[in-house]
Each structure stands twice: as C-alpha cells, then as structure tokens.
Amino acid sequence: MVKNYLKITFRSLRKHRIYSLINILGLSIGFICCLFIAIYVDDELKYDRFHSKADDIYRVTREFFSQDGSTSLHLSQIAPPFAEYFRADFPEMQKVCRIAFYGGTVEYEDKIFDEENFGFADAEIFEIFSFNFVAGDPQTALTEPGSVVISEEVAKRYFGTTEALNKVIRYSDQINFKVTGIIEKLPETSHFELELIGDFAPVQMFYGGRENMMKAWGSNNFSTYFLLNKEESIKSIDSRFPEFLTKHVAEDATEWNALHIQKMTDIHLRSNLDNEQGLNSDITYVYIFISIGLLILFIACINYMNLATARSANRAKEVGMRKVLGAGKSSLVGQFLTESIILVFVSIIIAIVIVGVTLPYFRQFTDRELFLDSSQLLSWLSIIVSIGIFVGVLAGSYPAFFLSSFSPLKVLKGKLGSGSKSSALRKVLVVVQFSISVVLIASTLIVFDQINYMANKNLGYQTEQMLTMRLSESIQEKYELFKNVLLEHPSIISIGSSRRIPSDQLLDSSGAEADIDGEMKAPEVVIKRLDTGYDFLETYGMEMAAGRWFSKSYGSDDTAAYVLNEEAVKTIGWKTNEEALGRSFTYGGRAGKVIGVSKNIHFESLRSDINPVVMFIPNESNKRFMSIKMKPQDVHQTISYIEEQWAGFSPKFPIDYRFLDDRFETLYQTEAQRSKLFTGFSFLAIFLACLGLLGLASFTVAQRTKEISIRKVLGASLQTILLVLSKEFLVLVLVSVIVAAPITWMFMSDWLNGYAYRIDMSLIPFFMAGLISVFIALSTIGSQTFKAATSNPVKGLRDE
C-alpha cells in the first residue's frame, strides 16, 4: 500500500511540475522563516542558561519612591553593605556575590589598554556562576588581595599567550594585580560581560576602608547575586526584606525604598530597570516572532490547500477512475495525505539546506551570534519531524477530503462539482492570508514611522557634530588648560563639561527642599541632578525659559546657584517659571537660590518621560565628560588634533570618544533591528499569500472557462472579461484590509504605549498596506486572467 502511494505520488509530482514547484517553494519559504525565527527565539530564551546553577541564581534590585508613592528609580544594582548583611540575616542565601563593573585602563610593560569589561567581585563569584577555567583554581583565584582573573582573549592581547599565570598588570595607574586564573570568554548569551575580574579588596580601598564602605547605603553601583538553597522558598526572603531594611538602613526605610528579587534567567527578557549592564530584550517580542513564524507557516499551508484544489479539475478523472476500479475513500485520503507529507519533507530538507548556507548572512542581518547548537541536534530533528508530519496532515487534509469526495459519475461526465461551501472556504482562506500580510505590512510601516520620529524629534539641544568623551583623572585636574588648548583649533566651536551626557540615564538624586509659600518643603516627586559646567548650555544650544544660566561673572554661581528645568518647576508647584526665580532651594544639604529655568529637553531615551531636573556647578571631580561642538568641515583633522592633545595631557589613559548621534542610534538599535526582521517577514508573508491567490485564480479560471468563452463569442471586450475575473479577487483583498485594520490598530497602539513620546497613528500606514496588497494581488492574478481572456473560445467550448 505504502509503496503504491509513493509510486503514485512521485508520478503525480513529475506530471504536474509547475504546481509541485510552486507548492515546494511556498512550503520551503514558510519553513525557512520558521527556522530562522526558531534560531532567533532560541537564542533569546537561552540567555544565562549556560550556568550550571542558573535556576537557583537570583539578583537583588532596589526601588526608590517619591513622596507621592510613585517609583522615582528602580535600580538593577544596590549598595555594597547589603551583601554582607544578607550573609548574616538570610541563611537561605547559600552564597552571595557583589560585582562592581568599573572598567578602566590596564598597563602591561609599555602597553596600555582601555578595558570596558573590568569588574571587581567577591570570591564567591566562581561558586555561583559557571566560569570555565583554562588555568588557575576557581576556589582560590580571588581569595588574596591583588588577584585578578582574565579571559583567554585578554591574555593573548596582553602577553601573546594564555600562559599568563602570576604575570603582573597595573590597573588605572594605581593598583598592581597578579594574574591568578585564565577563563574562557563568557558566551554572547550572558546578560553581563566580564573579561577581567579583580578581587574585592581594592573596592574597599576606594571607599576609604571597609568601615566606610559599610555606611555607603547610597552608593548603588553593585550588581548583587545570591545562590538559593533549593529547599528554601524565595517568598520567605522577600517577605522579610521590609524588616531587614528597617533594621539596617533606617527606621523609615520602607517609606522611601524597597528591595526586590529577580531570577537571573528572567533578566534578559523581563527586566529593563535603571542602570542595567546592557540593553535587554523583551519577552513580548519573543511571543510576536513566534506568532509571525506560525502565521507564515499557516499561510504556506493555505497555499497548498488552494493550489491542490485549483488543480482538482485535472485530477478529477483520476479520482473517478480509481473509485470506479474499487478504491475506497480512505485509500484516496491516504494517497493525498502521503503526497502532502512528502512535499512537506522535501520542503523541509530544502529549507534546512538554505538556512545552513544563509545563516552567516542572517547573523549579519540581526547582528547576533546565532548558531545551531550541535548538542541539541537530536531535539531539533525530532521537533522538525513532528512539525513536518503535523503540517503535512494539516495542509493535505482539506484537499484530501475534498478530492476524495468527488462523485465518479459526475467527474467522468466532465461535471466537476466543487460546491459552494468549498468555494467559500477557499475565499475565507485567502482573506485570512491577506489579512495576516496586511497586519504585518501596516505594523512594519508604523514601526518605521516611530523609529523615524525618534531619530528626527527635536530633543531640545544639538546632537550633530557633537563629540563626547570620558575624562581621565589627569585631564580633570588640568581641565581648564586642556579645554583652552582644544579651543585654539578653528573647527572647535564650544566645549562643555558634565557628570552625565545626553543619552545617559539620570540616576543621581539628593534630597530637595524648595520655598513654597514661605516654607521650605520637599517636592512630592524626586528631582534628578545634572552636574554641569559653565559652557554646557552654550555647547548644546539649550534654551532658557526664564532667568539666566551660570556665569563666572557671579561669584556664588558655583556654590549657591541652581537652574531647574520646566518639569521641576511644575513638580515643585510654582505656577510660572518666573515665579521660581530667586526662590530658596536646597539640594543635598547645599542651600542656594534658583537663578534660571531651562526649557525641557529629552536627556534620556524617548521611551522615558522627561524628569524634573536640577542643574548646578559641581566640584572638579564631577567633570566626568567633555562635550565638544565641532564644525562639520575637516572632522577627521579635528579629531586627530584632539587625540594629539589628549596624548600630551594624559599619556597613560587612552582616549575614549563617541559622537552623540551615534550614542542615540545605539539606544534605538534594538528597534531598528526588529523593524528589519518585521520588514523581511512581512514581504515573505505577502509573497506566500500571492501564491495562494494564484491558486484561487487558477481554480476560478478553470471553473469559468466555458463562461469566458461564451462571453467572448457574444462580443465581450478584453477589458470587460479582465474586470469580471479580477473583481472577485479585489473584493477579497479589500475585505482583508478591512479585517486587518482594527487588529493592527489595537496591536500597535499597545506597542506604542511603551514609549513616553510616540507618533499619532494615522490612516496612511493602513492605506499604504492596502495599496501594496492590491498592487501585488493584481500583478499576481494578471497573468492568469489575461491568459484566460485572450484564449481561443473554441477550445473552451469544444467539450459542449
């Protein structure tokens, strides 16, 4: 029986090559999309899973409240004293580890390296996380002061070999470290990067000793993890956090802050807190891409159904003859399902080959290190085989039952009775196909509009030709001299300094009090701080709403003057910007007066609301960044001049600079990447939908051949016949647009709500999506209808 099924299947495939190729092409594209999406989603889901104890590792985060109870800040990092008290108060925490991601310069002999992935950690780090040691003992690697563990790549870069144990490197021209371990680089699927890990002793030294560090409750710069005893409940720890805060931090600690627990494996997809170690993803997009993959595969299945029924007229006599010769319905169903399953597996094989060949290009397209894990090969194959059988049965079920239901008497007389029900079902399937395609196309257009809006929105300051760089300690000490030397270059317009630069998060805040109705009161919402230099406003081209900016002409501006933004004035409760001028204002215990109100600017990402901000002139040590406004001419020459002067002022610290617009582009890199994926999958979806439309057009033309011939004999013009044949398809496409519009509106409205500043959706994306669909649909059915309309009517009527 099976042998007979296979023989007939391959005979049918050879006889109907064009339809077979179209079916295989459609199914192959569907499986290619699904495989690429599966690889992408698998990469997202396996973040941090390479740690052997991944399911028992947790991170503690810290949330701060404003006086009105709203969240002012939710940090992924906490203060250093917490970890030590955790060890004493929570026996459920089997191991506790702090990691401080400081970065810095590293010297070896005459070479200097700028290392972003340098961190300091407790010795327990290697008992909690799975670092693969190439050399050294993880049990003792960080137990001695002055110890450092480095990656193989770092060892080769510094020493030219991985034989690096006991070699000495110097950190930030302050501390000597002895290499006590060599590790493999962490996989790309880690939510943090560490290539050099120093022991924790220097951190205590930075704070002036352990005693001072244990009082630093406001220094929230430490990612703190713990390993949970499996038998203990995480809820028990969480319920005791309020009591813990009251005991160790302050009696009223629960009124202004809280601690929370995150599972480490949830961080990448379910955490976008302040001060994360990198841009995390979102579980929502995982669901979206899985849905897109399934929808595209579903479209491919619909194609098979439509194309199979489209050529039913060609196979009707075959079915009739087989029934006359004694073939039962189950035998016919088995035959057609076998054909479907074989087509599916041929398509899967083609898809696997194409994915294997094009995977490097997909890596470039997504900018991700995507690969097929050989250890999961058996699992992948079993899933693919299961999906193949399921899709084969799903795609072949309707054609199988449809074709096997033909009456042998009617089909042998040439009367193919497809029935109105099957015709209606095929139309519904085409509407579903194009509705999915329109949803994807319209969504893609809206995503592009939002990205374009973010890229071109007026942020309230200049970003073009703005070079930003982190200052070394030696530059900070000679800041004014260095600045004046740079300003001697004719292409440098202005230079400003600040503790943070636009595109950063405003994480710093202190207690504020403002003169409200003659009484000093704390605002309901926390006011963030931005430490700036005198030339910051001029350099960025910011505008004042009232009052003035800081000036060296006023002796007290660097000790007792504040500039607020408009949002801060609103938060405090002053009715106008002018009313704020001259008012008493205290911040972090520093008393002063409000001298000006700046217009609101978008300092952070457009995902965030504009924060209330206070600006003031800090001490010299807070000048962490320099912003340089340059002329657009001779940019490379200007940068060379800056590099040359830097080398003279700070020879031991490599220069680290970036253009501001590049920093903002990085902020929206994830959206840009996803929009590219959306675009690619959207056009593949509509291509597959067109294959389905081709099937329906072929079927309709086959059914209406005699009608077309009669119309031509009676004098109908070519245009009339084309209109008659195309009208039905255009109606289906227009119905698809009507169905897709509210679905897209609802879905994209929810997506746009994730942005504090977003576009207002218009009808243009829906109109464009409909126009694209109609154009492609007309192009698809044009060949079939034109062929039918120009055929010889005698051929269509000869059977009569």
How does DSSP classify residue 111? E
pLDDT tens, residue by residue, 492-535? 999 999 999 998 888 888 889 999 888 998 888 889 999 999 99
Tell whether the model's pLDDT for residue 551 goes beyond 80: yes
Q: How is residue 63 annotated by DSSP? A: E
The Cα–Cα gap between 573 and 562 comes to 17
Where does residue 21 rank: exposed (0-12), middle (13-18), buried (19+ CB within 10 A)? exposed
In this prediction, residue 404 carries a pLDDT of: 56
How crowded is residue 273: how many other Cβ atoms within 10 Å of its Cβ? 18
What is the per-residue pLDDT for 375?
62
pLDDT above 70 for 422: no
Across all residues in the chain, what is the average pLDDT? 84
| Separation CA 367–CA 665 (nearest Å) | 14
Query: Collapsing DSSP states into helix, strand and coil, what is residue 722?
Result: helix
CA–CA separation, 244 and 3 (whole Å): 73
For residues 458-482, give the mean pLDDT. Answer: 90
Q: Is 108 left (phi over 0), alpha (psi -120 to 50) or beta?
A: beta
How far is residue 547's CA from residue 544's CA, in Å, rounded to a whole number? 7
Torsion (CA) 514, 517, 523, 524 in degrees, nearest 10: 180
Indicate the SS3 state at residue 761.
coil
Q: Residue 436 — pLDDT band, cuts 50, 70, 90? A: confident
CB 224 within 8 A of CB 76: no
- Considering only residues 787 and 219, tell me which one the structure prediction assigns the higher pLDDT: 219
> What does the pLDDT read at residue 467?
95
3-state secondary structure of 654: coil
Residue with tokens 């740079």: 486
**Residue 759 has which token pair?**
């576009």
Place of tokens 């991170």: 59
pLDDT over 60 (residue 641): yes
Q: Percent of the chain beyond pLDDT 70?
A: 84
Distance of CA 166 to CAs 110, 148, 197, Å? 18, 10, 15
In whole angstroms, give the CA distance from residue 226 to residue 92: 9
With bands split at pLDDT 50, 70 and 90, how would you rate the model's confidence at 304?
confident
pLDDT tens by residue, 527-549? 999 999 999 999 999 999 999 99
**Which among 651, 642, 212 is positioned nearest to 473, based on CA atoms?**
651
pLDDT tens string 329-378 = 566 666 677 777 888 888 888 998 998 898 888 888 877 777 766 666 67
Query: Which pLDDT band holds residue 277 (cuts at 50, 70, 90)?
Result: confident
* Residue 308 main-chain phi, psi, to 5 deg: -65, -45
Decide: residue 555, CB within 10 A, 0-12 exposed, 13-18 middle, 19+ buried: exposed
Q: Give 520's strand partners.
A: 515
* Most confident of the following: 431-440, 576-585, 733-742, 770-779: 576-585
**Which residue do the tokens 């992924």 mark?**
76
Task: Write the CA distances from 409 to 316, 317, 387, 395, 406, integer angstroms.
Answer: 11, 10, 38, 27, 9
On whether the CB atoms of residues 47 and 189 are closer than 8 A, the answer is yes
Q: What is the dihedral of CA 775, 778, 780, 781, to 10 degrees?
A: 170
Q: CA–CA separation, 327 vs 406, rounded Å?
A: 12
Contact 430, 692 (CB under 8 A): yes
| Sequence-ordered list of residues with C-beta below 8 angstroms from that of 425, at least 6 positions apart, any chain | 398
Average the pLDDT over 190-205 and give the result: 93
Q: Fill in the amino acid letter for 646.
A: W
Q: What is the pLDDT of residues 91-136, one digit of tens each?
A: 999 999 999 998 888 999 888 888 889 999 999 999 999 999 999 9
Structure tokens at 313: 């007229």
What does DSSP say about strands 133-136 and 544-547: parallel, antiparallel, or unpaired? unpaired
CB within 8 Å of 691: residues ≥ 6 apart? 22, 25, 26, 303, 307
In angstroms, the CA 415 to CA 413 distance is 6
Q: Is the pLDDT of residue 649 over 70?
A: yes
Q: Buried b vs exposed e over 214-243: b needs ≥16 C-beta within 10 Å?
A: beebebbbbbbbbbbeeeeeeeebeeebee
The SS3 assignment for 517 reads coil
Count of CB atoms situated within 10 Å of the CB of 249: 18
CA atoms of 526 and 116, how far apart (whole Å): 31
DSSP 54: G
What is the pLDDT, as a whole number, of residue 220?
Answer: 93
> How far apart, in Å, are the Cα atoms of 736 and each of 689, 700, 725, 745?
11, 19, 18, 14
Rounded to an integer, what distance in angstroms lies between the CA atom of residue 783 and that of residue 691? 13
Give me the pLDDT at residue 800, please: 47
**pLDDT at residue 631 tops 90:** yes
pLDDT for 566 equals: 96
**CA angle, corner 280, sides to 277 and 286, nearest 5?**
160
Q: Which long-range contacts (CB under 8 A, 24 or more apart) does 705-714 make?
A: 705/788, 705/796, 706/796, 706/797, 706/799, 706/800, 708/788, 708/789, 708/791, 708/793, 708/796, 709/791, 709/793, 709/794, 709/795, 709/796, 709/797, 710/793, 710/797, 712/789, 712/793, 713/793, 713/797
Q: Phi first, then psi: give them for residue 240, nearest 5 degrees.
A: -95, 0
The pLDDT, as a whole number, for residue 622 is 62
Q: In this model, does residue 437 exceed pLDDT 60?
A: yes
Helix (H, G, I), strand (E, B) or coil at 230: coil
Question: What's the pTM?
Answer: 0.84
For residue 481, CA distances in Å to 477, 485, 490, 722 come to 9, 6, 17, 80
Q: In b/e form, how buried is each residue of 406-427, taking b as 16+ CB within 10 angstroms?
A: bebeebbeeebebeeebeebbb
Report d(CA 157, CA 188) in Å as an integer: 20
pLDDT tens for each residue of 279-302: 888 898 888 888 888 888 888 887
Nearest CA among 606, 674, 673, 671 for reference residue 440: 674
Residue 568 pLDDT class (50, 70, 90 cuts): very high
Higher pLDDT, 231 or 482: 482
